[in-house]
Chain A
């Protein structure tokens, strides 16, 4: 269970921004603390899991398998950020791997706790989900940026000049 002295941290988490103090306290009581050393993997792409995590301190790397031992870094998350919400909502395997870049402390919120929040305090749950949607929109924008950057990388790496008409020649 999360330490009472760290309760103040919840104020910094965007997801709980619009929750009243007593609502935050109710959520806080249901969070589970997790600690990772540098290099520890919290979960891998394809694993099962129904927990959402908030980073208290440290940093994690979100990566997706490309080939062999190589993975693409999708994002770095730090204090106040959350991850793992996709599997929490759609019951699908984890879509990416999470590993600690530094010593990291985080808190996990499972599906049962979220259901409890929805049942007990629909207003607080609505505020929570509004923030989730806003963060997901931002992540969608970031993903579009990443796709554009990877495409630019591919064009530069192959030297293909797509601006010039294909019917060039002498």
Chain B
């Protein structure tokens, strides 16, 4: 068998003064391909239940060219993931989580089968980009697309960040994952609670420290918070090092072209233990607990003024981030969602839940058929998420009405 083809590339540094040579193997590029099904409506799927084998196979028909292919349950699972956002590598991870075994060949042969039936397509990943691409005749859409493209180029990432994190871990960050780190977090949290009690009594005057420019003050608080976001991702990365896994990439990007964010590629944690996955998942959000508690404690020690208001506002934002990172029921795939998914062993909880509630729940209820345990989880997830979002919107409306 011939070796995999390699491209030898020269990558210049930001300043252009130096360069590094990197060899990209075709298999690496293949693992990063994000296969996408053709548009819903261009295909249909029929389930064939075998009472003898007690399993279901699926027939997928391409309505455009009248081609049919048959999928096993495992292949159907992978087909459902092919949304243009999941890479082949991530498909492999999802497969391991679902079936408990690694079988890369099934992904390769499935993609091959789907390509032959022309059931895969290449479309822009983002819906917004898709809409803009469809309306390129419109100068505004063209300008917006060009702006998004330019912003997306602001991505700065390093695939060799692992060594840097390993060094940081060796030189002291290992303490974070030791009883010392845990003890410090507990201590600061207790101090934070105590500080909150003291601050609470003076809540009416908290923002007076911003003087006549409360909006500018809050914008500065937001900017400061943005800078602390990097520590959230760093903790995820350090947790990986702690469990002997590899940080595949770390950097900064404009999410969807307009949302500035730091990121750490922690997919290697899926090869670790469940404990490793959970610790890696919650270690980022715990940064917000630590910082929020620290800020509120420091605020309680300050006299009235700009610093106190700044610290209180920062602590509130950190607390909100802690909550949103860990709260899994809001249709956002944040850290808490991933921990929940791992705990339940349902890697596609959100999409399967939405699909079940949209398409099958009412039929079941009309037919008076009971729900399986898994389906109860689906309904609970959707129900809790809708309730949470409604409660969040309601709370904000109430807050606005009562403070203006």
Residues of A within 8 A of B (CB): 39, 61, 63, 66, 68-73, 99, 149-150, 152-161, 164, 166, 168-170
Q: Which chain B residue has the least Cβ–Cβ distance from A158? A: B33
The 9 closest A-B CB pairs, nearest first, are A168-B116, A156-B26, A157-B29, A169-B67, A153-B5, A73-B8, A69-B12, A170-B68, A152-B5
Could you jot down 12 A-B contacts, CB within 8 Å? Answer: A39-B17, A69-B12, A70-B10, A72-B10, A153-B5, A153-B7, A156-B4, A157-B27, A159-B33, A159-B115, A161-B116, A169-B62
1/0 per residue, CB under 8 A from A, across B4-38: the answer is 11111111111011110100001101100100000
Question: Beyond A68-B153, A70-B9, A161-B115, is A169–B68 a contact (Cβ under 8 Å)?
Answer: yes
Residues of B within 8 A of A (CB): 4-14, 16-19, 21, 26-27, 29-30, 33, 59, 62, 67-70, 108, 111-113, 115-117, 153
Q: Which residues of B contact A72 (CB under 8 A)?
A: 7-10
Q: How far is the CA of A85 from the CA of B132 in the complex (A)?
A: 46
Instruction: Select B115's contact among A66, A154, A160, beta carbons within 8 Å.
Output: A160
Q: Which residues of A contact B17 (CB under 8 A)?
A: 39
Question: Beyond A39-B17, A39-B19, A169-B117, is A156–B10 a contact (Cβ under 8 Å)?
Answer: no
> What's the A-B contact tally at a CB cutoff of 8 Å?
85
Instruction: Select A157's contact among B33, B70, B111, beta carbons within 8 Å.
Output: B33
Question: Beyond A70-B11, A72-B10, A153-B6, is A170–B69 a contact (Cβ under 8 Å)?
Answer: yes
5 additional A-B pairs beyond A70-B9, A150-B5, beta carbons within 8 Å, are A70-B11, A99-B19, A157-B33, A159-B111, A170-B68
Question: Beyond A61-B21, A99-B19, A169-B116, is A156–B67 a contact (Cβ under 8 Å)?
Answer: no
Q: Which chain A residue has the least Cβ–Cβ distance from B32? A: A157
Q: Which residues of A contact B59 (CB under 8 A)?
A: 170
Q: How far is the CA of A164 from the CA of B116 in the complex (A)?
A: 9
Q: Which residues of B contact A168 (CB under 8 A)?
A: 67, 113, 116-117
Q: How far is the CA of A159 from the CA of B241 in the complex (A)?
A: 32
Q: Which residues of A contact B26 (CB under 8 A)?
A: 152-157
Q: How far is the CB of A58 from chain B (nearest CB, A)?
A: 16
Say whether A73 contacts B21, CB under 8 Å.
yes
Q: How far is the CA of A71 from the CA of B27 in the complex (A)?
A: 20
Q: Which residues of B contact A66 (CB under 8 A)?
A: 9
Q: How far is the CB of B19 from chain A (nearest CB, A)?
A: 6
Q: How far is the CA of A76 from the CA of B92 in the complex (A)?
A: 37
Instruction: Select A170's contact among B16, B30, B70, beta carbons within 8 Å.
Output: B70
Say whether B112 contacts A159, CB under 8 Å.
yes
Q: How far is the CB of A66 from chain B (nearest CB, A)?
A: 7
Q: How far is the CB of A122 from chain B (nearest CB, A)?
A: 40
Q: Which residues of A contact B8 (CB under 8 A)?
A: 72-73
Q: Which residues of B contact A73 (CB under 8 A)?
A: 8-10, 21
Q: Which residues of A contact B115 (CB under 8 A)?
A: 159-161
